[in-house]
Copies of this chain bind each other. A is one copy, B any other.
Amino acid sequence: MKGKITREYIVESADRLFYQRGYEHTSFSDIADFVQISKGNFYYHFKSKDEILAAVIQLRLENTRNMLAKWEADGERPEDRIMSFIDMLIANLADIKMYGCPVGTLCTELAKLNHASRAEANELLFLFRSWLSRQFVSLGLEAKADELAMHLLARSQGVATLAQAFQDEGYEGFIKHEVEQMHAWLSCTASAAQSAQEAGAGR
């Protein structure tokens, strides 16, 4: 069962390295060095670099699904659940400043490479989009749910991009400020939805 462990360790390391350095800029040797195995052994576990990328994306998909399920279980109201999404920017502040959003930067890179795994990477984004969309539906905003989901997703992507580019040249507290604004936007959207529903019920 040693193989299982090594394989997992490779995937986790590659995940981290791809995030920090980018997929193309991370070589087999980089991963092998990090995991401290020989390149030959590496190929016992993965036949190609594409294959390891596919494994990394599968791992991320799984982790993301678990995270979304947890948010779903933990958040009482839909607003609370959406808040979990927004607050990711704060929870991962340090990493985002250094390496951007792991999902967005991967999708951007694979798009330029025209890589075979591009669609799977986009599925990561889509997971967030459809999850957010469902939350907005729960808020009673069926008609605009997907629009609102895309809007919020776009804003968090934009914040991550600028946070990484400017790092500490961004005005102090840029991310926190944007997060606060997203909170405000969400409260506004949620309460508007509620009064619309009450008005509908009162008719």
Contact = CB atoms under 8 A, between A and B. Distances in A.
Interface string A104-120: 11011101110000000
A164 interface: yes
A99 B112 contact: yes
Interface residues of A, number: 41
Interface string A169-191: 11100100110010000000000
Interface in A122-162: 122, 125-126, 146-147, 150-151, 153-159, 161-162
Given A20-B112, A147-B171, A162 B157 contact: yes
Contacts of A166: 122, 125-126
A24 interface: yes
A133 to B, nearest CB: 10
Contacts of A22: 24, 109, 112-113
A25 interface: yes
B150 A157 contact: no
7 contacts: A22-B109, A100-B111, A111-B164, A125-B166, A147-B177, A151-B178, A154-B162
